[in-house]
């Protein structure tokens, strides 16, 4: 993975608004393409930083809908190929689970049939 060096991949260009900046990329958190692009210019150079700074991928679907699109925007803005942009770090629980369910541990023991 590219480590960006001391300029962290910043090309020195200023942020230029684009026509499709108001298209929503993360539906869960309602984050637009422009907000993501601006965040990249504000210094967010990795998928992890974008996610933590703006919250795409933090809603109920945990990035299933937006991950590829956010990676694509980051790839385009930094000039890196998509293959060098990782995804969001998947964590447990992979599906929303209520606190009651999560705390209700089953006591099964023994081998499978």
Partner 1 sequence: MKRWDLVVIGAGPAGLSAAIEAAEAGMSVIVFDENKKPGGQLFKQIHKFFGSKENHAGVRGIEIGQMLLEKAQKDHIQVELDSAVIGIAKDRSVSVRKDGQTREVQGQNILIAAGASERTLPFPGWTLPGVIGAGAAQTMMNLYGVRPGKKILMIGSGNVGLVVSYQMLQAGCQVAAVVDAAPRIGGYGVHAAKLARNGVPFYLSHTVIRAEGDGAVKSVTIGQVDSSWNIIPGTEKTFDVDTVCMAVGLDPMSQLARMAGALIEEKGGLVPTVDEYGQTSLPGIFAAGDVAGIEEASSAMLNGEIAGLRAAFKSGYIDEETFRTEYKKKKAALGDLRKGTFSPENKGRTDLTLTSEGLPLSENLFEKGFLTDEEVTKYPGVIKKAGVHPVIECTQNIPCNPCQEACAFGCIEVGEDITALPRINPQADCRNCGKCVAMCSGQAIFLVDEEAGCVTIPYEFDPIPEEGEMGTALGRDGSPLGQAEIIKVRKSPAFDHTALVTMRVDKTLAMKARAYSRKTFSE
Partner 2 sequence: MSTKMKADVVVIGSGAVGSATAYFLAKEGKKVIVLEKGHSIGCGQSCRNGGMNKIDGRGLGELPIAIYGLKCWKDLSQDVDTEYVEKGGIRIALDDEQQEYMERFLPFGKEAGLHLQSMTGDQLREKIPEFSPRITGAIYCQEESKMNPLKTTLGIYSAARRLGVTYVSGEEVCALHTRQGRIYAAETKNGNLYEADQILVAAAYGSRQILNTVGIDLPLYSYYEEIFVTEKIPKILDQMFVSAKVTYYGEQQENGTILFGGASGFGNYPNREWYPDSYQDRKRLPAEARALVDLFPCLADTRVVRGWGGWMDISPDDSMMLGETVEIPGLFVACGFSGHGFGVSVPAAKVTSEIMCGKKPGADISHVMYDRFSKHMDMFTGADRNHLINDIQKK
Contacts with partner 1 by CB under 8 A lie at 20, 22-25, 27, 33, 64-69, 82-83, 86-87, 89-95, 97, 100-106, 108-113
| CB of 79 or CB of 93, closer to partner 1 | 93
Cis peptide preceding 71, ω within 30 of 0:
no
- With CB cut-offs between 5 and 8 Å by kind, which of partner 1, partner 2, none does residue 110 bind? partner 1
| CB of 7 or CB of 108, closer to partner 1 | 108
Residue 53, exposed/middle/buried by CB under 10 A (0-12, 13-18, 19+)?
middle
Q: C-beta of 43: minimal distance to partner 1 in Å? A: 24
Q: Which residues of 59-77 are buried (b: 16+ CB within 10 A; e: fewer)?
A: bebbbeebbebbbebbbeb
Within 26-65, the residues that bind partner 2 by CB under 8 A are: 42-46, 48-49, 52-53, 55, 58-60, 62
CA distances from 65 to 24, 29, 57, 69, 102 (A): 11, 11, 8, 8, 25
Residues that bind partner 2 (CB under 8 A): 1-6, 8, 42-46, 48-49, 52-53, 55, 58-60, 62, 89, 91-93, 96-100, 102-105
């Amino acid at each position: 993975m590219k480590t960006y060096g001391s300029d962290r991949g910043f090309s020195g260009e200023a942020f230029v608004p684009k026509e499709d900046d108001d298209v929503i990329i993360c539906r869960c958190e309602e984050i637009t393409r422009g907000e993501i692009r601006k965040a990249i210019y504000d210094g967010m150079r990795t998928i992890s930083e974008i996610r933590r700074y703006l919250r795409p991928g933090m809603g109920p679907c945990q990035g299933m809908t937006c991950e590829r699109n956010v990676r694509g925007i980051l790839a385009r803005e930094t000039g890196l190929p998509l293959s060098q942009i990782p995804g969001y770090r998947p964590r447990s629980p992979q599906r929303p689970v209520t606190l009651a369910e999560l705390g209700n541990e089953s006591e099964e023991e023994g081998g499978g049939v």
